[in-house]
Amino acid sequence: MGAVRMRVQTTTCDPEPMQNGEAMSPDAQDSKGPPGDEENQGAVPSAPPLPQEPPPCPRPKLVFHAQLAHGSPTGRIHGFTNVRELYARIAEVFNISASEILFCTLNSHKVDMQKLLGGQIGLEDFIFAHVRGETKEVEVVKTEDALGLTITDNGAGYAFIKRIKEDSTIDQIKTVCVGDHIEAINDQSIVGCRHYEVAKMLKEQLRGTPFTLRLVEPKKAFDMIGQRTRAPKSSEGKMVSGKETLRLRSKGSATLEEIPDEIEDKAIKKVDDLLESYMGIRDLELATTIVEAGKNKKNPDDFAEALDSVLGDFGFPDVFLFEVWGAMGDMKNGRI
């Protein structure tokens, strides 16, 4: 938002004029006029008016339309700068608690992970908020190192399942669905944990030892009951319209940005694939931040240092950083 500039006028008080070492009286001052111009004596010349600064250009008010995914009237959402504030505005409009919102999709009321609201909203996108539905508890026995889950989070403290790998351990448990919020592991609440923390906890579960997951599924509309969606591996893109998007950041204010060009967009998707391969998570906003951190770096050491300064909490493995740097090189050389 542009700053409002204010013009402050200061008046300098000059000492009174002196005549013969003494201050002149107001009458004496008035009697003195310009030589040879008796008619204008006593007139005080006025300074030319200061030029008026144009008023600041107001920032356009961005208004988005939204519904609850299971069905509701349409509401108008505005005045938010991050995901938490977005959820708060949605909650106000629909008279619910913000903690009821699990995640949002764009331009579809279905639990479609291709249309998940991540870090960007197209200026013409329609927002659907998915709220808490039924709670369920399942027992899982790990038969191999990987459960077959890909985890993401909503940016406001809820981790949920973004993908289930076919024929994996979790795929055998038919009550577990894409979109389910993981609320607890072995009765230990994980609300407030980031996706990478949840993925690490699941990875640490011992093979052959049963553990429990408490899940909360999104409330479903009538035409969604019975669905068990599995997100396809590719084509997870930003659902945007027009040339600009509103980018929501986990830290700092939202900004209007140009849509990344095709090459950069491919690099972001490649990094997102690497996040899934090495860390068991998918997060387009995180992938975008990683690509931005490496765009102007000339060597992997500078890239690793830049990444550590903004995403040090993630503790990325070296092999992951090596793969990402390779993807960045492919982007810069037009090979991607």
User: 71-123 pLDDT, tens per residue?
Assistant: 999 999 999 888 899 999 999 999 999 999 999 999 999 999 889 987 788 88
- The residues that bridge with 139 in the sheet, in sequence order, are 212
- The residues that bridge with 149 in the sheet, in sequence order, are 164
Cβ distance 115 to 105 under 8 Å? yes
- The residues that bridge with 27 in the sheet, in sequence order, are none
Q: Say whether pLDDT at 220 is over 80.
A: yes
Q: How far is CA 266 from CA 36, 101, 113, 300, 321, in A?
A: 83, 30, 18, 20, 17
Q: Say whether pLDDT at 298 is over 90.
A: no
Q: How far is CA 260 from CA 33, 69, 177, 238, 300, in A?
A: 70, 28, 32, 10, 23
Distance CA 225, CA 187 (A): 27
Nearest residue to 103 via CA among 283, 304, 278: 283
Q: Say whether pLDDT at 255 is over 90.
A: no
Nearest residue to 248 via CA among 282, 285, 291: 285
Would you report the helix, strand and coil content of the chain in percent, each value rounded to 5?
Answer: 30, 20, 50
pLDDT at position 99 is 95
Q: Say whether pLDDT at 52 is over 80.
A: no
Distance CA 243, CA 165 (A): 34
Phi, psi of 309 (to 5 degrees): -70, -30
pLDDT tens-digit profile of 146-204? 899 999 998 889 999 999 999 999 999 999 999 999 999 999 999 999 999 999 999 99
Q: Say whether pLDDT at 7 is over 70.
A: no
Other beta carbons within 10 Å of 170: 21
User: Any residues with CB less than 8 A from the CB of 98 and at least 6 apart, and which?
Assistant: 84, 87, 88, 90, 91, 156
Per-chain mean pLDDT for the chain: 78
Pairing of strands 126-141, 149-153: unpaired
pLDDT at position 25 is 45
Give me the count of residues in the chain: 336
pLDDT at position 201 is 93
Phi, psi of 218 (to 5 degrees): -65, 145
